[in-house]
Amino acid sequence: MSSRSFQQEIVAVLGQPVAENPTQYMMEQAFAHHGLRWRYLTLEVSPDDLGDAIRGMRAMGFRGGNCTIPHKVAVLEHLDRLSEEAALMGAVNTIVRQGDELVGETTDGKGFVRSLRTVTEPEGKRAVIFGAGGAARAISVELAMAGIAELRIVNRTPKRGQELADLVAQRLKIPVEFVAWEGDYDVPPQTDVLVNATSIGLFPNVDQRVPVNLETLDPAMVVCDAIPNPPQTPFLREARQRGCTTLDGLGMLVQQGVIAFRLWTGVDPDPAVMHAALKEVFAS
């Protein structure tokens, strides 16, 4: 008689389309590295099936997972509770089972701030963010929570940009300015941290140019790109050539995964293992 257990703990990403999301590889490399008998599944789920998928997660005892486009907002109504940041943003990218409850979390912004802290502390700094979509929302809220002194949101669609600026200013009580993005943007000289949180330059549109006046970049600035694929965008290359410190989107992707991993398993994963997994994926 064997008493060996063949049961595994399951987490999964729900999205559509989702096949090219590399999180499964990153997480399973880390599970293996830490000797955890966990699996991470990549599941294509249509918006109409989201409620059933979440009920299925509950019924089958999944330990949680991630949700990505187009479910980050729609998933809220299917969860039992939200973290403070997820409630503030109205979006969830990580689901964590706590007892019988499924709790919505958001780890993108926290991942960005952790990654930023490897090159500079955000407290008291002045930041400019390009974009007002999901990534920009998450980054803005977490920067404000981390003590950034001033924020400027620059976005092509004024309504979206103004809404984000109002949210951060009203809820987190820091000075936030919105600027409509027209032509090449002149970065104000007092800027400490500049972030591209748009999808300009994301694979396969790798030659798409971020409309910015490169002459206004100063070597004292930290220039970041949220885009993980390719890790080295033309925007970052130009900034580096001008002497700026740069930060790629791979660090953010790894760090948001580190936070989720810890929430699910209680184990602090080795970020180097996850980073190496993603580098391997994006190099192939």
Q: Which residues bind ligand NDP (CB under 6 A)?
A: 108, 111, 131-136, 155-157, 160, 197-200, 202, 226-228, 249, 252-253, 256
**Smallest separation (angstroms) from ligand NDP to the CB of 198:** 3
Give 199 or 245: the residue with its C-beta nearer to ligand NDP.
199
- Chain-centre distance for alpha carbon 240: 23
Type of residue found at 68: T
Q: CB nearer to ligand NDP: give 9 or 208.
A: 208
| 100 versus 207: smaller Cβ distance to ligand NDP | 207
Distance between CA atoms of residues 14 and 271, nearest Å: 23
Closer residue to ligand NDP in complex, CB, 11/227: 227
Residue linked to tokens 């973290």: 83
131/153 Cα distance (integer angstroms) = 7
Residue with tokens 């990549």: 42
Q: Which residue is nearest to ligand NDP (CB)?
A: 133
**Closer residue to ligand NDP, CB minimum distance, 73 or 220:** 73
Closest by CA position to 183, among listed 160, 212, 154, 149:
212
Question: For residue 235, what is the enclosing H or E element?
Answer: helix 234-241
Is 159 among the residues known to form the active site?
Answer: no
Q: How far is the CB of 7 from ligand NDP (least distance, A)?
A: 31
Task: Name the minimum Å distance from CB 221 to ligand NDP.
Answer: 20
Q: How far is the CB of 160 from ligand NDP (least distance, A)?
A: 4
Coil/strand/helix, residue 14:
strand
Roughly what angle, to the nearest 10 degrees, separates helices 249-265 and 108-116?
A: 120
Q: How far is the CB of 279 from ligand NDP (least distance, A)?
A: 14
User: Which residues have C-beta within 8 Å of that of residue 234, sequence separation ≥ 6?
Assistant: 201, 206, 207, 209, 210
Residue 19 neighbours by CB under 8 Å, 6+ apart:
42, 44
Instruction: Tell me the catalytic residues.
Output: 72
